[in-house]
Structure 1
Amino acid sequence: MKYVEPQPGGREQLPSAVAAGDVAAICTALISAAFHEDDGKWVQDWALELLAHPSADVRHTAALTVGHVARIHRYIDHDLVVPRLQALLDDPEIGGAVENALDDIRMFTDAET
């Protein structure tokens, strides 16, 4: 896997990528939004919605995105996000990404996880 620097445009691309069901475009737009969107709550809310997506790749990216929001924006809705993540810790496909997100929340916000 090769690292690709996230480009701006996630806010504009994410809704249409989700509507089209394009897994790669959803993941790209979600990461782009995490890095370039000023509204951390908007990104958080999309990531939470996508934690239930049928694609493990999208769910994994959504968990990573929550961690990015905590790290970049120093914001997370603890009461909403933490229980959702904790419920996914045993998911074999995304449990590691969920643990990383919870670590970022502990490290970069005032949350108790």
Structure 2
Amino acid sequence: MRHEHHVFHNPPSSTPAEVHAALDRGDLPAALDAMVGTALYGDGDWEELQELHLRLLEHEDHQVSALAATCLGHLARVYGQLDERRVVAALRQARTLPHTSGTAENALEDIQIFLHPRRARWRGRLWTAIRPWTWI
């Protein structure tokens, strides 16, 4: 049995063209890194990036579609804006699929937290208040 140590790294900033190029040549690791690189740094057009990740949310490869959901959550954090109606509808649809349910749920939470911080704080306080086992 062989054990590998995986090292976390933030990929460099990337563009939608680099994502498409990596997908076109079938280089999945490079495509995944480029996807994250488009969402993390805030140096692109949020609308273009939102469209990219909405399209990738429907990609045939499960890793790509799951990461697209995560990247939509990153966009909410980095840019503080999205076409919320469209993105939330797409993520709710993605939440029904087994391979994207967890990442879509996390992205929806990120959108709630980063686009509506006051509402998220109150929801958290309410949730704590109605769960008496958390008072301890």
Provide TM-score, normalisation by structure 1. Answer: 0.88
RCO comparison, higher one (Cα < 8 Å, 6+): 1
Check the 8 A contact 1:30/1:43 in 2, yes or no. Answer: no
**Unmatched 5+ residue regions in structure 2?**
1-5, 120-136
- Equivalents in 1 of 2:90, 2:16: separation in Å? 23
Q: CA deviation at 1:75?
A: 1.0
**Unmatched 5+ residue regions in structure 1?**
none
Which of 1 and 2 has greater Rg? 2
Percent identity, please: 30
Check the 8 A contact 2:39/2:49 in 1, yes or no. Answer: yes
- Residue 32 of structure 2 is matched in structure 1 by 27
Give the one of 11, 15, 26 matched to 1:6: 11
Amino acid at match of 2:20: P
- Equivalents in 1 of 2:14, 2:57: separation in Å? 21
- Equivalents in 2 of 1:72, 1:53: separation in Å? 23
Check the 8 A contact 1:23/1:55 in 2, yes or no. Answer: no
Once the two structures are superposed, residues 9-36 of structure 1 have per-residue CA deviations (whole angstroms, 9 ceiling, x without a partner) of 3344112113223322221111001013
Q: Where do 1:34-113 residues align within 5 Å?
A: 34-36=39-41, 37-110=43-116
Check the 8 A contact 1:10/1:28 in 2, yes or no. Answer: no
Q: CA deviation at 1:2?
A: 2.9
Provide TM-score, normalisation by structure 2. Answer: 0.74
For structure 1, which segment, 67-76 or 18-27, has the greater mean C-alpha deviation from structure 2 after superposition? 18-27
What is the aligned-residue RMSD (CA, Å)?
Answer: 1.9
2:94 alignment partner, SS class: coil
Alignment coverage as a number of residue pairs: 112
